[in-house]
Chains A and B, each alone.
Chain A
Amino acid sequence: MKQVFGRPDALTDVPTHYCPGCTHGIIHRLVAEVIDELGVRERTIGISPVGCAVLAYDYFNCDFVEASHGRAPAVATGIKRVLPDSVVFCYQGDGDLASIGAAEIVHAATRGEKITVIFVNNAIYGMTGGQMAPTTLPGQRTTTSPRGRDVESAGYPIRVAELLSSLSGVAYIARVSATSPANVTKAKRAVRKAFEMQIDGKGFSLVEFLSTCPINWGMSPLEAMKWVDEKMSLYYPLGDYTQVPEVG
């Protein structure tokens, strides 16, 4: 009998600690499926962030390094410069990448580091209990913006895909979500393309996932999916953001 569906080799057979309704699990799976399909598991090194995905090294079945907060792109640079034939990916959240690690991600992108970044944007600090993130929407309530994010005082959310797409070292950037089967299919295509860009030596690639945090958003999993579709994706439109500018 032909097996048509199973656990990817690049995932371990352990239950994750992620909350119900969070899309980290789906995103892990998509990355693992792509690693399997490209046949690169044995030369892949992942880097986990500080945040909800800090234990990603327990769930992926490939070599893994845990980086300090925000520094995954710098750690990835060190690994890739030693092992140019390896496949290196960072898995980072929005606090990790867009706040404390803003310098590292910008410079890894502009250097055109041949790495792939899976950027999980859920508009909040999940692991620490729901504080305001650099990606928290205007008016969104968090434990450190209890009256809603006031842009006069807290500033505006950062659109990472748009920001990084202005840099010449970028080979591919897309923003996706995992809120429906159709979106998951599109997301997988984007992850695959991002890894292919790295393997082909084209430059820096990043896939931004709009993700959910039902616990800290105070929503049911279904409401959270709906909030991504109806609120988040208005501020953060899905699509391809690759625009490698002409170098003049």
Chain B
Amino acid sequence: MKHARFFIRPLHLRSLHALVAGLCLLGLTEMSLAQDSSGPSYEEIAAGFADPTRWLTYSGDYSGKRHSPLTQITLENVKNLRPEWTFQTGTTTRGRGFETSPLVDNGVLYVTGSNNYAWAIDARSGRRFWQYRRNLPNDLTYGASAPVNRGFGMLGDQLFMATLDAHLLSFDRRSGDLLWDIELADYRQGYSATLAPLIVKDKVIVGISGGEYATRGFIDAFDPETGERLWRFNTIPGPGEPGSETWPDDPDILARGGGGTWMNGSYDPELNLIYWGVGNPNPDYYGDSRPGDNLYSNSLVALDADTGELRWHYQFTPHDLNDWDSNHMPVLADVDWHGEQRSVVMVGNRNGFFYVLDRITGELLLGTPFTATSWARELDDDGRPIVLNDGSEGCVPDPWGSTNFMPPSYYPELGLFYLTARETCATFVPEEPQLVPGQASFGGVIFIDEEPSYGALRALDIETGDLEWEFTYPSPTFGGVMTTASGLVFAGDHEGNFMAFNARTGENLWHYQTGSRIWGAAAVTHMLDGRQYVLIAAGTTLTAFALPE
């Protein structure tokens, strides 16, 4: 009985008593008792932002919009936003970022950090209830070069975390005790896992990192109670399977074709479809050994949540030579599309294009550049890019791409899609790599010209892809975006600023220097004791902001 673990830890009991006492003082006894019993159910996760005190899944809801209905912080008062507390992780990822999106439930933050640290933190004080640190092996492969994590998944009293040695863990959310630990894949081959698990009904869905190595990507579903695997979707088809015709007729090549699935997906409960981005084929830059489109690399796949069966796919970058993984948060919305109601999925892609697809059928509705990319400027009638420059001729977006996995945001009332754009310039020189398990096989080198590069927060009109406004940053940026229904955009940049903008005009309204580049993280917001908090991770700190009382 995993629920019993909660009563073993006296320290945690004390904290919870304090919490309950605090809530009683505020006249919230009933609610606190009700919430004491267990964490969120699937139905509560599916209800998204219905309870303003909670943030229960990576993007706040299944749609990936990262658009909160909270309105206490406004265009007028955001200039008064101030830090309430700062949490120090004590663990660094020099060269990368603190990429987590905290989950929030009943006044407690559940936070994962670099190097597979994790914490439960008091949302009022920033003080921690417990800390977990995984004892990682010394011979990590991909996990050593990207020792990051993007967050927990949560269901009931369980938390789920993916690890750098490619395991999936389940914890008791109250004690931080480990409930089970299963291997996703052999990290020695190059596998790792960094994403926040997605909870769908009675399943825990995860993807895998390691496309820089001779690996084969997949999306897995697990039983949350036992850790038993329920289905697997291989992103690179097996011999004879649909999609294998886009590869050489060689089982060895298919078995190591890459196609990582290292960024979170989104979910449509009505259609019961999971939307997930797939990464680069391997070798990254050398394509001569893998002629063909190399499905389902650099694609968006729509999978049946119960079975993992592929419903449809769309490939953004056929036969990728530039490491432009399509590992982005797919953003789901129901929109007025030129006078017609459509259910769409939107992707700002690493290849420099912004896409809108019908999420029922996979039909392409729009694909247009949002950067100055010289790789391609338009798609043909079949939705394939008309490639002008594959990178060997110079100056296409660098391998980090025109944007990356940092979350974008969609503001339904404005019809605007906000994303962090990176304007960069690189030359790709492919070379045939040796394929050795556990060793990276990029397949070439890149020359990056750092001088003219910059970053920008851009607002795109989703019906046309037109640039509504932009705010430029001095250097290419990895900070993510969140919007709130009060007309605000929150974004972070590579120089460490956490900022608020007018969503309609792009006017900067507030900024706070966090002291470290904001990399991969996007803001999270929730209500607590009648006040709206905004959280951002940067460097080794998590900071909570609110308006003065």
Instruction: Verify that A and B bind, or say they do not.
Output: no
